[in-house]
Structure 1
Amino acid sequence: MGKTFLKLGQARLWIPPRLAELLHQLADAPRQRSALTRTLTDQTPWLFPGVVPGQPLSRKASNDQLVHQGVHTRAARTAALIALATDLPAPVLADLLDVHIHTALKWARHAQRDWTTYLTARAGGLADTAEPRQP
């Protein structure tokens, strides 16, 4: 089996072989779908089809299903956003994630990307410790 990629929007994500095998099994498995969401052909390009015919499973519904199975993603998502905010300027982050620039700026501040707050606090802390204290 060759390399497997999962297309997310315009991005292609390489999938490790064992996970790729499981995803192929999922894609080939017959789907139990309600009569309300079936189409005449019942052919969908989505690995995780949503309730609305022809649409993928929503992010919230996907997350709800993961949480129901005991998979909590909030910590990993937060860590990934902080890592991106550390490495990318806010305008690039906003464009990449399709979020408002103010949201990207908040993540950049949270990540302390420019370190000025840290350096200012550190300089103040060093100045305080450099001078002997009077009783």
Structure 2
Amino acid sequence: MHGARLAGLRAPLTSDELNQQLRRCLNDDTLPLEARIIGALTSLYALPTTRIVALTTDRFQRDGDDAYLTINKHPVLLPPRLAVLIERQITSPDVSTSVLQQSHAGKPGFLFPGRPPSRPRSAETVSEYMRKHDLPGISARNTAMMEAITDLPPIVVSDLFGIHPHTAYAWAQYAQNSWAEYLEAQSAD
């Protein structure tokens, strides 16, 4: 495998587990708002925590009934429930997040501000926070990436998710090898 390019590769979730996690993030009101948004972004768009914490509020836009989040350079249509969650995070944040207080010197604020609010949260803190709520980040991201890379050409995944083309091709190779191993194991039964 392309070790350096696929660093952090952990056992992916099954597709069913990923879908359950996504449903939980979109529908479970007992989860904190931030955990729901972060988990959904990971499950849908294979975004690593480092990219999620760097998102600024200006990356979210509404166009009529549709809502978009600009990932890399491309506005991506959001599911309506996720759009509502992100809007709620921006307009009525938890007091501890200080989202409304974070616009500094004309710069857009972070969707998940740190302390001080002019800085993003650390990826390590967010990863711990997600584990605390039983939302596996890396495993979910790996599954989301595998699903994307099997549905779309690697160069499209590279451009859409903002990853290096070589990394996208390495993921495609990994996905192809994983499917081959799976099919081989099935035929042996």
**TM-score after normalising by structure 2:** 0.43
1:79 partner letter: T
Verify the 8 A CA contact 2:113 2:120 in the aligned structure 1.
yes
Structure 2 unmatched ranges of 5 or more? 1-63, 104-108
Q: How many residues align?
A: 110
Distance change >3 Å, CA 6–CA 27, structure 1 → 2:
farther
Corresponding residue number in structure 2 for 1:72? 136
Verify the 8 A CA contact 1:4 1:16 in the aligned structure 2.
no
Deviation (angstroms), 1:84: 1.0
Verify the 8 A CA contact 1:27 1:47 in the aligned structure 2.
no
The percent identity for this pair of structures is: 27
In 1, Cα distance between the equivalents of 2:153 and 2:94?
A: 44
The structure number with the bigger radius of gyration is 1
Runs of 4+ aligned structure 1 residues displaced above 4 Å come to none
Q: Which has the higher helix share?
A: 2
In 1, Cα distance between the equivalents of 2:88 and 2:173?
A: 41
Corresponding residue number in structure 2 for 1:106? 170
With a CA cutoff of 8 Å and minimum separation of 6, indicate the structure with the bigger relative contact order: 2
Distance change >3 Å, CA 24–CA 106, structure 1 → 2:
same
SS of equivalent to 1:16: helix
In 2, Cα distance between the equivalents of 1:57 and 1:4?
A: 28
Deviation (angstroms), 1:104: 0.9
Instruction: After superposition, give the CA deviation of every residue in 1:45-103 in whole Å (9 maximum; x if it has no partner).
Output: 43321345434435444323211232213332111101111122222222222222221
Distance change >3 Å, CA 22–CA 110, structure 1 → 2:
closer
